Chains A and B, each alone.
Chain A
Amino acid sequence: MSAPLLGMTGIVKAFPGVRALDGVDLDVRTGEVHCLLGQNGAGKSTLIKVLAGAHQPDEGTIEWNGEPVSLTTPIAAMRLGIATIYQELDLVPGLSVAENVWLGHEKATAGWTKRGETRSATRDVLRRLGHGEISPSMEVRHLSAAGQQIVSMARALSHDAQLIVMDEPSAVLAHDEVANLFRVIRELTSQGVAIIYISHRLEEIRQIGDRVTVLKDGRTVATGLPARTTPTREVVTLMTGRTIEHDFPERTDDAASDELLRVENLTLPGVFEDVSFSVRAGEIVGLAGLVGAGRSEILETVYGARRPSHGRVLLDGQPLKPGDVTAAVRRGVGLAPEERKSQALFLDHAVTHNITAASLRRYSRLGWLDRGRELSDAREQVTALDVRPGDPRRPARTLSGGNQQKAVIARWLLKGCRLLLLDEPTRGVDVGARSELYALVRGLADSGVGVLLVSSEVPEVLGLADRVLVVREGRIVHEAPADELTEHDVLDLVMSGASPVSHGSGTSNGDMS
């Protein structure tokens, strides 16, 4: 058999704090759809960036048609025939379809663009994709997400790409658009183009994929599995591995404690509707649901970062001023947001300053900062939470994901917050550090803090929370104690809205509290 189109062996890529790729092997044949699977943080995005020439691997070899190559720049990758279609489509909205397709390699003579030729070449490429109806002169911002994806693919073809990497292409598409995407992919593979297809949806992989490679913790754990026949159980086991079971801390009985948070009929039009629930002091309440179901937005609205159109949020029976973060913080609410780096951290500033950012008032006398006390308090938190490295004067940038998360939680511990909102607290957190975070959160709850937790990982919600609210399409469709739910129950609810047989009305809306 001849050499594969693309062969990657032993790829290693380290960043400060984490080895994102730690020995990845991947081979892709001409004309196949090769699926790449792995959990969040398994290294998929880094691998794509290596392929796109955006990251240079520290170790390992890449072969193209059997020849060793180095993808030093995105242009080098493109010249070779590797095109990448990112999840966030990288088109220029104000330019036309044709201009976007030929961006960077315009058809031109001495700098003068050949408009006619560009248009007809664009039309050819679009027709090849089965989308002759898209006008080359249309501005890209007027196209739907599906249409923009076609333009991205047309751009790939304009580079004579032989390998197209698609990062979760179906995530931005509606259901019927996915079928069309598959049609386009089949069209491409029949022309000999290879596809690396990344998706979380196993169902899709079964439909479109030929072979599967599974990544876990930056390593290839299986490669070349047949996409259609490998049992789901086997794939899932490979992805999660049997080693990353977490020890969830013991639940403690706190049924008698007082209600801390009450949310009444909260509505943010188009995002979530008529959401009511409550959290008691010392209780961990989990919001389970798909990305985009409105979970994070509920959290942000409780926090005052978004202003609801209806409903109210009460803390200790007193309403919180809607849309006012400062007021919420003053009342003792804290948020560890989903996008830690962009929403919570001052990456270039010392860990100390990150930890004390919400408590500056405490160290100020007439605006004057008591920096000695500030540092010693921060140091105390760093020690208590075992943040590593333990020097609080280092910039937050130098910490790993798990330790950055600890610093964010330390901010609210120091503030003495009574209601902690956690949005995907273990995203980007190393496997080993997760159990520590779980223990930390449980410890907080035991000390009387109410916790509202959002996570896409169902086991995390079930393992950590006392009570689970299932959110689907902006509504709470079910509520139950965590130990009465199984993952299958939750997934069924999340996907279909159907209530598990063993429980009563699945559409009950917080009235169980």
Chain B
Amino acid sequence: MSEHTEHRLGAADAISEAPPADETSRVERAAAQTDETASWLTRTMNSPGMRNAALVLVLLFICVIGILTTGDLGENLFARKSNILTILRLGATTGVVSIGMTFVIIGGGIDLSVGAIVALASVWATTVATQDYGPAGIVLTAVAVGTAAGVINGVLVAYGRMAPFIATLAMLVSARGLAEEMSGRKTQTVTRQGFNDFFQAEPFGIPALVIMFAVVALIGWLILNRTTFGRRTFAIGGNSEAARLAGINVKRHTLLLYALLGFCCGIAAVMILARTTTGTSTHGLGYELDAIAAVVIGGTILSGGRGTIAGTVIGVLIFAAVNNIFALNNYTTSKQAIAKGLIIVAAVLFQQRINRNSRST
């Protein structure tokens, strides 16, 4: 029986002798070869900066199409300042959700319930009782409801060990159901003029909603790239087992990621209230798809561990611009949906190509 491990015997009784030089250099040679084989294109396209630059080109291309299809240069419907601001204002709400979604997806999760959470928060914040507390009451309620829903998602995923897809699917149906229940399926109007005045203001000619999106994106970028929270998010999405064994509290962090996204949904609910002056259970329909699509187009990979905020912002803008161009040209929303689907497919195929090239080296 002792022969079982006998092959390990040899090294000990062997004569002491330095390993031949070519043993160590073997590895280095192989490493050097790898460098040469990686093509220039692959390496440059693989850096997040360049990938985002490529996305900007796509966005510019879409803008050119917008300009060409909407009248003369003198009075172009697309290029007008008011239209650009409309694009930004419409993109801002899903944009804020997409920023939060970027965190969750980089952290290796997914959240399907964002649209429903936005609806629930908008309804809860516009009940008569809430509005009694004034504009601040509306804002705080929306944000608190969004965050609470996110915490529930996070607890189910992190501590209940549910698949994110299932946990947030359950949240999707029940949050929207609760929103319908609370509102009696009626549209609730924002009666507090102070709220509307504040969020519909346009300091320096820029709509408040656009400023909010910009601020959320900037803070999101800082958190993701400059804080321990962001670094841990990448670590957990990149290899959750390694993160756990490095002493990172993966469960708590996962909970915080969903809470952060819930918080973003609360802000988005405030923004939608400001834009429409109403709270209803039908707000935020399809937000989950818009947000996930924007994140994926922006180069964040669904399996987690890699992604950028800038990419997500550009992804949001691409979607908003396409929507706008279709509206200006009087195409139906059905045609818009088809175009969006094609954009998603093209973006993902393109990214897979880049990823495959970088892996094969």
| Partner-B contacts on A (CB < 8 A) | 14-19, 22, 37, 39, 200-203, 206, 217, 232, 235-237, 239-247, 290, 303, 305, 325-326, 328-330, 335, 337, 342-349, 353, 357-358, 360-361, 363-364, 367-369, 371, 388-389, 398-400, 402, 411, 430-433, 435, 456-459, 462-463, 487-488, 491-492, 494-496
Q: B247's closest neighbor in chain A, by CB?
A: A329
Instruction: Indicate if the CB atoms of A367 and B9 lie closer than 8 Å.
Output: no
Q: How long is the Cα–Cα vector from A344 to B20 in the complex, in angstroms?
A: 30
Query: What residues on B are CB-neighbors of A411 within 8 Å?
Result: 246
**Could you say which of B10, B27, B231, B247 contacts A239, with CB atoms under 8 Å apart?**
B10
**Could you say which of A290, A326, A353, A363 contacts B248, with CB atoms under 8 Å apart?**
A326
Instruction: Indicate if the CB atoms of A363 and B228 lie closer than 8 Å.
Output: yes
**Could you say which of A217, A363, A457, A492 contacts B23, with CB atoms under 8 Å apart?**
A217
Instruction: Indicate if the CB atoms of A344 and B3 lie closer than 8 Å.
Output: no
Instruction: Indicate if the CB atoms of A15 and B24 lie closer than 8 Å.
Output: no
Interface string of B8-23 (1 = CB under 8 A from A): 1111101111111001
Q: How long is the Cα–Cα vector from A430 to B10 in the complex, in angstroms?
A: 17
Q: How long is the Cα–Cα vector from A303 to B246 in the complex, in angstroms?
A: 11
**Could you say which of B12, B34, B242 contacts A458, with CB atoms under 8 Å apart?**
B12
Q: How long is the Cα–Cα vector from A353 to B248 in the complex, in angstroms?
A: 13
Q: How many residue pairs at the A-B interface have CB separations less than 8 Å?
A: 202
Selected A-B contacts with CB under 8 Å, 24 pairs: A201-B4, A203-B4, A232-B3, A240-B11, A240-B14, A243-B19, A290-B4, A290-B5, A326-B247, A342-B239, A342-B242, A344-B242, A344-B245, A345-B242, A346-B234, A346-B239, A349-B238, A353-B235, A364-B228, A398-B34, A430-B26, A430-B27, A487-B8, A495-B5
Instruction: Indicate if the CB atoms of B24 and A240 lie closer than 8 Å.
Output: no
Q: A240's closest neighbor in chain B, by CB?
A: B10
Q: B34's closest neighbor in chain A, by CB?
A: A16
Min CB distance B244 to A, Å, is: 6
Interface string of B79-106 (1 = CB under 8 A from A): 0000000000000000000000000000
Instruction: Indicate if the CB atoms of B8 and A457 lie closer than 8 Å.
Output: yes
Query: What residues on B are CB-neighbors of A346 within 8 Å?
Result: 234-235, 238-239, 242-243, 305
Instruction: Indicate if the CB atoms of B246 and A203 lie closer than 8 Å.
Output: no
Min CB distance B250 to A, Å, is: 9
Q: How long is the Cα–Cα vector from A463 to B227 in the complex, in angstroms?
A: 43
Instruction: Indicate if the CB atoms of A491 and B2 lie closer than 8 Å.
Output: yes
Instruction: Indicate if the CB atoms of A369 and B226 lie closer than 8 Å.
Output: yes
Shortest 3 CB-CB contacts between residues of A and residues of B: A329-B247, A240-B10, A432-B24
Min CB distance A109 to B, Å, is: 35
Query: What residues on A are CB-neighbors of B356 within 8 Å?
Result: none
**Could you say which of B5, B11, B31, B239 contacts A246, with CB atoms under 8 Å apart?**
B11
Residues 262-276 (chain B) with a chain A CB within 8 angstroms:
none
Min CB distance B241 to A, Å, is: 5
Q: A329's closest neighbor in chain B, by CB?
A: B247
Instruction: Indicate if the CB atoms of B4 and A245 lie closer than 8 Å.
Output: no
Instruction: Indicate if the CB atoms of B244 and A360 lie closer than 8 Å.
Output: no
Query: What residues on A are CB-neighbors of B33 within 8 Å?
Result: 14
Min CB distance A396 to B, Å, is: 10
Q: Indicate if B232 sits at the interface (CB-CB under 8 A).
A: yes
In the complex with contacts A201-B3, A335-B245, A361-B228, A16-B31 CB distance below 8 A:
yes
In the complex with contacts A330-B247, A335-B245, A400-B14 CB distance below 8 A:
no
Query: What residues on A are CB-neighbors of B305 within 8 Å?
Result: 346, 348-349
Min CB distance B55 to A, Å, is: 20
Instruction: Indicate if the CB atoms of B246 and A357 lie closer than 8 Å.
Output: yes
Instruction: Indicate if the CB atoms of A432 and B23 lie closer than 8 Å.
Output: yes
Q: How long is the Cα–Cα vector from A388 to B226 in the complex, in angstroms?
A: 27
Query: What residues on B are CB-neighbors of A235 within 8 Å?
Result: 7
**Could you say which of A202, A347, A388, A457 contacts B28, with CB atoms under 8 Å apart?**
A388
Q: Indicate if B76 sits at the interface (CB-CB under 8 A).
A: no
Query: What residues on B are CB-neighbors of A360 within 8 Å?
Result: 228, 231-232
Q: B252's closest neighbor in chain A, by CB?
A: A326
Given contacts A201-B4, A353-B231, 8 further A-B contacts (CB under 8 A): A240-B7, A241-B14, A244-B14, A246-B11, A364-B228, A368-B226, A458-B9, A463-B12
Query: What residues on B are CB-neighbors of A22 within 8 Å?
Result: 26
Q: Indicate if B30 sits at the interface (CB-CB under 8 A).
A: yes
Instruction: Indicate if the CB atoms of A487 and B12 lie closer than 8 Å.
Output: yes
Number of interface residues of B (CB under 8 A): 52
Query: What residues on B are CB-neighbors of A388 within 8 Å?
Result: 28, 31
Query: What residues on A are CB-neighbors of B230 within 8 Å?
Result: 369
Q: Indicate if B361 sits at the interface (CB-CB under 8 A).
A: yes
Q: B230's closest neighbor in chain A, by CB?
A: A369
Q: How long is the Cα–Cα vector from A246 to B27 in the complex, in angstroms?
A: 18
Instruction: Indicate if the CB atoms of B16 and A357 lie closer than 8 Å.
Output: no
Q: B26's closest neighbor in chain A, by CB?
A: A19
Query: What residues on B are CB-neighbors of A367 within 8 Å?
Result: 227-229
Query: What residues on B are CB-neighbors of A457 within 8 Å?
Result: 8, 11
Instruction: Indicate if the CB atoms of B231 and A348 lie closer than 8 Å.
Output: no
Query: What residues on A are CB-neighbors of B361 within 8 Å?
Result: 16
Min CB distance B305 to A, Å, is: 6
Instruction: Indicate if the CB atoms of B15 and A17 lie closer than 8 Å.
Output: no
**Could you say which of B7, B9, B31, B244 contacts A200, with CB atoms under 8 Å apart?**
B7
Q: B306's closest neighbor in chain A, by CB?
A: A348
Instruction: Indicate if the CB atoms of A18 and B30 lie closer than 8 Å.
Output: yes
**Could you say which of A15, A39, A203 contacts B1, with CB atoms under 8 Å apart?**
A203
Q: B359's closest neighbor in chain A, by CB?
A: A397
Q: Indicate if B72 sits at the interface (CB-CB under 8 A).
A: no
Q: Indicate if B6 sits at the interface (CB-CB under 8 A).
A: yes
Query: What residues on A are CB-neighbors of B6 within 8 Å?
Result: 202, 232, 236, 491
Instruction: Indicate if the CB atoms of B27 and A17 lie closer than 8 Å.
Output: yes
Min CB distance B30 to A, Å, is: 5
Q: A401's closest neighbor in chain B, by CB?
A: B27
Q: How long is the Cα–Cα vector from A217 to B19 in the complex, in angstroms?
A: 12
Q: Indicate if B249 sits at the interface (CB-CB under 8 A).
A: yes
Min CB distance A44 to B, Å, is: 12
Q: How long is the Cα–Cα vector from A427 to B1 in the complex, in angstroms?
A: 24
**Could you say which of B3, B34, B241 contacts A202, with CB atoms under 8 Å apart?**
B3
Which of A19, A360, A435 is the most central at the interface, judged by chain B CB atoms within 10 Å of its CB? A360
Query: What residues on B are CB-neighbors of A488 within 8 Å?
Result: 2
Instruction: Indicate if the CB atoms of B5 and A200 lie closer than 8 Å.
Output: yes
Q: How long is the Cα–Cα vector from A435 to B7 in the complex, in angstroms?
A: 20
Q: How long is the Cα–Cα vector from A206 to B305 in the complex, in angstroms?
A: 49
Instruction: Indicate if the CB atoms of A462 and B12 lie closer than 8 Å.
Output: yes
Instruction: Indicate if the CB atoms of B4 and A368 lie closer than 8 Å.
Output: no
Min CB distance A467 to B, Å, is: 18
Instruction: Indicate if the CB atoms of A389 and B11 lie closer than 8 Å.
Output: no
Query: What residues on B are CB-neighbors of A369 within 8 Å?
Result: 226-228, 230-231
Instruction: Indicate if the CB atoms of B11 and A495 lie closer than 8 Å.
Output: no
Q: How long is the Cα–Cα vector from A315 to B324 in the complex, in angstroms?
A: 64
Instruction: Indicate if the CB atoms of B24 and A430 lie closer than 8 Å.
Output: yes
Query: What residues on B are CB-neighbors of A430 within 8 Å?
Result: 23-24, 26-27
Instruction: Indicate if the CB atoms of B241 and A342 lie closer than 8 Å.
Output: yes
Query: What residues on A are CB-neighbors of B7 within 8 Å?
Result: 37, 39, 200, 202, 235-236, 239-240
Min CB distance B287 to A, Å, is: 28
Instruction: Indicate if the CB atoms of B31 and A17 lie closer than 8 Å.
Output: yes
Interface string of B305-339 (1 = CB under 8 A from A): 11000000000000000000000000000000000
Min CB distance A399 to B, Å, is: 8
Q: B232's closest neighbor in chain A, by CB?
A: A360
Instruction: Indicate if the CB atoms of B12 and A459 lie closer than 8 Å.
Output: yes
Q: How long is the Cα–Cα vector from A303 to B3 in the complex, in angstroms?
A: 33
Q: B239's closest neighbor in chain A, by CB?
A: A346
Q: A246's closest neighbor in chain B, by CB?
A: B11
Q: How long is the Cα–Cα vector from A19 to B29 in the complex, in angstroms?
A: 9
Q: How long is the Cα–Cα vector from A492 to B24 in the complex, in angstroms?
A: 34
Instruction: Indicate if the CB atoms of A326 and B4 lie closer than 8 Å.
Output: no
Query: What residues on A are CB-neighbors of B27 within 8 Å?
Result: 17-18, 400, 402, 430, 432-433
Q: How long is the Cα–Cα vector from A349 to B238 in the complex, in angstroms?
A: 8
